[in-house]
A and B are shown apart, each in its own frame.
Chain A
Amino acid sequence: MIIKFIGSVIGIALAWILLFSLNNLAFSHLELSHFVNWIFLPAGIRLVAVLLFDSVAIVGLFVGAMVTSDFSHTSLPHAIVIAAISAINPYIAVNISKYFLQIDGLLSNLKAPQLLILCSTAAVFNSLAHELYFNSIKLDNTPLSNSITMMIGDFFGCLIMLYLLSIAIKLIRKYIAADHV
């Protein structure tokens, strides 16, 4: 049980770190500030991790966010709060959406358009929560524009992640089919 838990946490954290690094490599020129980017790939991992692993995703996302925190831009207490927001918000957003969309625990009645709603809800929750915190500690002086950018970045990050997931599944299927020929 503990091994499964630790394995899931490490897996989610590693996925976060990988996508965060990829995002920095590919989209650093789209950064508005250290915390805000027009495309944010790790947002996709937030959604997928919560959908697949439920509450365990919170720990994995928190660990991943802490590892990728830039302590030159923020202190440890702030980094912990920001990582906690990053981890808990998708869980809240996804579960509230699942409740209203009547999606069951195993996602057996999950429909394609509902994925877009989940992406949007997660993006809205995350950006609002981050902006509220940034404003409360006076970290960011332009609330609305950065909030909108973060929302867009998270939404596009989710969409790109879902697209990459579908490509990965197609490749796995082709590989399995080729293996059985």
Chain B
Amino acid sequence: MSNFKDVFTRFINLAVANEKLLAIPTIEPIERKILHLLVTYWERKQPITVVETMSITDEISTSTVFRYLKKLRQKGYVELVQDEIDNRIKYVTPTKQTDQYFAQLGKLMVEATK
């Protein structure tokens, strides 16, 4: 039979997994900036590669952009789609979560103007 220490450990791990199940991933300021810059390309239906994204702004270094792009991907805000012809090229594309994020922002802006 498990001792109470095991039960408590399982409870903590269950609680952590449960929280992640129900939580919406938050965005850090730099991730938000990158996402807002990316949306200008997506709105114009202009494909943007990972390499192009890394140079999307002069304010943040390319390595930092890449690091935060990976975080955005882990949180489900972007997807990387391989080019059909050249496997080395990956395009940064939005996800449903990105659409929901911007829809929510739009709603908040409309409410703020009332």
Residues of A within 8 A of B (CB): 1, 4-5, 8, 48, 51-56, 105-108, 110-116, 162-163, 165-166, 169
Once the chains bind, are A110 and B2 in contact (CB under 8 Å)? no
Q: How far is the CB of B96 from chain A (nearest CB, A)?
A: 16
Q: A106-B10, A107-B10, A166-B22 are in contact. Are A56 and B1 (CB under 8 A)?
A: yes
Q: A53-B7, A116-B21, A166-B22 are in contact. Are A5 and B14 (CB under 8 A)?
A: no
Give every chain B residue within 8 A of A112 (Cβ-Cβ): 17-18, 20-21
Q: CB-defined interface of B23-35 with A at 8 Å, one 1/0 digit per residue? A: 0000000000000
Once the chains bind, are A52 and B10 in contact (CB under 8 Å)? yes
Q: How far is the CB of A176 from chain B (nearest CB, A)?
A: 14
Q: Does B13 contact A (CB under 8 A)?
A: yes
Once the chains bind, are B13 and A106 in contact (CB under 8 Å)? yes
Q: How far is the CB of A9 from chain B (nearest CB, A)?
A: 11
Residues of B within 8 Å of A, CB-based: how many?
19
Closest to A55 in B: B1
In the bound assembly, the distance between CA atoms of A4 and B7 in angstroms comes to 11
Give every chain B residue within 8 A of A116 (Cβ-Cβ): 21
Q: Can you give 15 contacting A-B residue pairs, CB < 8 Å?
A: A51-B14, A52-B10, A52-B11, A56-B1, A105-B6, A107-B10, A107-B13, A107-B14, A108-B9, A111-B20, A112-B20, A112-B21, A113-B21, A116-B21, A166-B18
Q: Which of B4, B7, B9, B19 contacts A166 (CB 8 A)?
A: B19
Once the chains bind, are A111 and B17 in contact (CB under 8 Å)? yes
Q: Does B15 contact A (CB under 8 A)?
A: yes
In the bound assembly, the distance between CA atoms of A83 and B70 in angstroms comes to 49
In the bound assembly, the distance between CA atoms of A162 and B20 in angstroms comes to 11
Closest to B12 in A: A107
